[in-house]
Amino acid sequence: MTPFHLVYDREAVVPMEVGVESDRRRCYDADNSNRRIMELDLISEARDRAATRLTAYRQRMCHTYNRRVIPRAFQVGDIVWKKVKPVGDVGKLEPPWEGPYRVIKKTSFDAYYLVDLAGKDLVRPWNATHLRPYWT
């Protein structure tokens, strides 16, 4: 099934086929209303098959993506590293992580409020993708 067939209920004829006789044009019968009615009856099935294939494709794509995702979950009291946000002149030899920080609150969207070990709170929450566990 092509997208053209799903939209217009018939196959497209390329401009080259208009000038050159092909089997499709030679065998075409303009008065074939029974075949046309049958095609219209089957179009809902063709659309259902296309929707089923699309759903299967989306599930495969989701499975492939989720296979590479590394889930991270931290609890209140865990000690973590925080990713350094590059601001200004940050050289490539600078460390990519800073810390350690302690998790003081977890939100429902895997965002964490942090405090450094001296007791200073960080203003905004940090997503789990920007945190790593601190192993001591």
Is residue 11 a part of any domain in this protein?
A: yes
* Residue 84 sits in the same domain as residue 64: no
- Does the predicted TM-score (pTM) go above 0.85? no
* Residue 50 sits in the same domain as residue 96: no
- Expressed as residue numbers, the domain containing 103 is 79-133
Is residue 74 a part of any domain in this protein?
A: no
Digit-coded pLDDT (tens) for 96-120: 888 899 999 998 888 999 999 898 9
Digit-coded pLDDT (tens) for 21-76: 666 666 666 666 677 777 777 888 888 999 999 999 999 999 999 898 878 889 99
Is residue 73 a part of any domain in this protein?
A: no
DSSP state letters, 36-88? HHHHHHHHHHHHHHHHHHHHHHHHHHHHHHHHH-------TT-EEEEEPPP-S
Structure tokens at 73: 């979950």
